[in-house]
Amino acid sequence: MEKYPWWTEYQKKLADEVEAFALQIAPRALELVWKREHPADLVKMVGEKGWFGVLVPEEYGGMGKNGGVTSSAIITEGLTSVGMLGGLFFSTQFGGVKQLSKFGTPEQKERWLTRVARGEVIGALGLTEPFVGSDAAGIKTTAVKDGDEWVINGKKRFITNTGVANLYFVYAKTSNDPKDIQGRRHLTAFVVERGTPGFSVERINELAVFDAVRNGTLNFNNVRVPEENIVGGVGGGWNVMTSGLNFERLMIAVCMVSAMREALRNALYFTERRVQFGQRTIDFESNQYKIADIIMRLKSTRLLCYYTAYQEDLGNNPIIEANAAKIMATELARECAIDALQICGGDSFTKYYTVEQLLRDTKINEVGGGTNEVLRRLIVYIYRRLFSTEIPQPRRRIHKELRIPIPYFEPLGRKVPKSQATTPEAMEKLVLEALGEDYFVNPGLHMKREELMDDTGLSEEQLDETLLSLEEKGLVDLWRDRHGVIRLAKATYEGLNKAKPLDFYRWYPSWSREEERF
Question: CB within 8 A of 317, min separation 6: which ones?
Answer: 246
Indicate if 4 and 112 belong to the same structural domain.
Answer: yes
Enclosing domain of residue 268? 247-391
For 432-465, give the DSSP string.
HHHHHHHHHH-TT--EEHHHHHHHH---HHHHHH
Q: Is the pLDDT of residue 114 over 80?
A: yes
C-alpha angle with apex 258: 256 to 260, nearest 5 degrees? 70
CATH classification at residue 63: 1.10.540.10
Q: Is the pLDDT of residue 292 over 60?
A: yes
Indicate if 75 and 101 belong to the same structural domain.
Answer: yes
Indicate if 411 and 422 belong to the same structural domain.
Answer: yes
Indicate if 213 and 329 belong to the same structural domain.
Answer: no
Indicate if 173 and 78 belong to the same structural domain.
Answer: no
Indicate if 56 and 157 belong to the same structural domain.
Answer: no
Indicate if 184 and 305 belong to the same structural domain.
Answer: no
Strand partners, 190: 170, 230
Indicate if 281 and 370 belong to the same structural domain.
Answer: yes
What order of strands is seen across the sheet that includes strand 476-480?
Answer: 447-448, 486-491, 476-480
User: Under a CB-based contact definition with an 8 Å cutoff, are residues 167 and 121 in contact?
Assistant: yes
Q: What is the DSSP letter of 140?
A: -
Segment 222-256, tens digit of pLDDT: 999 999 999 999 999 999 999 889 999 999 999 99
End position of a domain, from candidates 60, 87, 121: 121
Sign (positive or negative) of CA dihedral 196, 202, 208, 211: positive
- Residue 256 in any domain: the answer is yes
pLDDT of residue 416: 58
* Residue closest to 450 by CA, chosen among 419, 487, 478: 487
Indicate if 116 and 203 belong to the same structural domain.
Answer: no
Indicate if 112 and 171 belong to the same structural domain.
Answer: no
- Residue 474 in any domain: the answer is yes
- Residue 452 in any domain: the answer is yes
Strand partners, 121: none
Give the pLDDT mean for 120-139: 91
* 248 included as an active-site residue: yes
- Residue 400 in any domain: the answer is no
- Residue 397 in any domain: the answer is no
Please return the burial class of 201, using the count of CB atoms within 10 Å of its CB with bins 0-12, 13-18 and 19+: middle
- Residue 162 in any domain: the answer is yes
Indicate if 212 and 271 belong to the same structural domain.
Answer: no
pLDDT of residue 415: 55
Cα–Cα dist 405/354, whole Å:
57
Cα–Cα dist 249/327, whole Å:
9
Which of 129, 248, 321, 366 does the annotation list as catalytic?
248
Segment 480-499, tens digit of pLDDT: 999 999 999 999 999 999 99
CATH classification at residue 205: 2.40.110.10
Indicate if 190 and 263 belong to the same structural domain.
Answer: no
Segment 161-210, tens digit of pLDDT: 999 999 999 999 999 999 999 999 999 999 999 999 999 999 999 988 88
CATH classification at residue 449: 1.10.10.10
Query: Average model confidence (pLDDT) for the chain?
Result: 93
What is the reported pTM? 0.90
Sign (positive or negative) of CA dihedral 379, 381, 382, 385: positive
End position of a domain, from candidates 121, 148, 166: 121
3-state SS string for 70-100 = HHHHHHHHHHHCCCHHHHHHHHHHHHHHHHH
* Residue closest to 458 by CA, chosen among 483, 480, 486: 486
Strands 447-448, 279-280: pairing kind: unpaired
- Residue 8 in any domain: the answer is yes
CATH classification at residue 305: 1.20.140.10
Q: Which residues of 177-194 are buried (b: 16+ CB within 10 A; e: fewer)?
A: eeeeeeebbbbbbbbbeb
End position of a domain, from candidates 391, 420, 437: 391
Segment 377-390, tens digit of pLDDT: 999 999 999 888 88
Which amino acid, one-letter code, is at 421?
A: A
Element (H, E) at 121: none
**Total domains present in the chain:** 4
- Residue 401 in any domain: the answer is no
